[in-house]
């Protein structure tokens, strides 16, 4: 695997993780006004800047992913999506202050180890 391909994968997965963080922040802000009902909440979601940023980041990540799929075997590229679990867990803990227990860290490290094994097999 070339460094360029790895960077494309990492940026694509990173954008998806940032999208998750942004969507969570947007839904938290909209969820405060749940008394509006489902329709009002949906409208609030689509008006939330954080939700719109998250959807945009997902779109950009998907476009990069298309470049990855055009240059790498799917069986090699797709396991790297597991890095998103690591990045999203870190973002939840560091940015949102979510608690991360030992079991969650251990499971996420196993996912990361699997990504390393897949990368080394290339």
Tell me the mean pLDDT in the region 88-95: 94
Burial class (CB in 10 A: 0-12, 13-18, 19+), 3: exposed
* Among candidate residues 102, 81, 85, 96, the one with its CA nearest the CA of residue 22: 96
Tell me the pLDDT tens digit for each residue of 24-72: 999 887 765 555 666 777 777 888 899 999 999 999 999 999 999 999 9
Query: What are the C-alpha distances in Å from 84 to residues 15, 35, 75, 108?
Result: 9, 33, 17, 10
Per cent of the chain over pLDDT 70 is 93
Q: Supply the DSSP symbol for 72.
A: S
**For the whole model, what pTM was predicted?**
0.82
């Amino acid at each position: 695997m070339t460094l360029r391909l790895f960077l494309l994968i990492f940026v694509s997965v990173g954008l998806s993780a940032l999208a998750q963080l942004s969507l969570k922040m947007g839904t938290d802000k909209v969820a405060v006004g749940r008394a509006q009902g489902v329709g009002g909440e949906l409208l609030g979601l689509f008006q939330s800047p954080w939700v719109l940023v998250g959807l945009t980041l997902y779109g950009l990540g998907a476009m990069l992913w298309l470049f990855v799929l055009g240059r790498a075997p799917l069986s090699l590229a797709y396991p790297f999506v597991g890095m998103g679990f690591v990045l999203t867990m870190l973002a939840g803990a560091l940015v949102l202050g979510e608690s991360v227990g030992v079991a969650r860290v251990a499971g996420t490290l196993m996912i990361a180890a699997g990504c390393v094994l897949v990368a080394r097999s290339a």
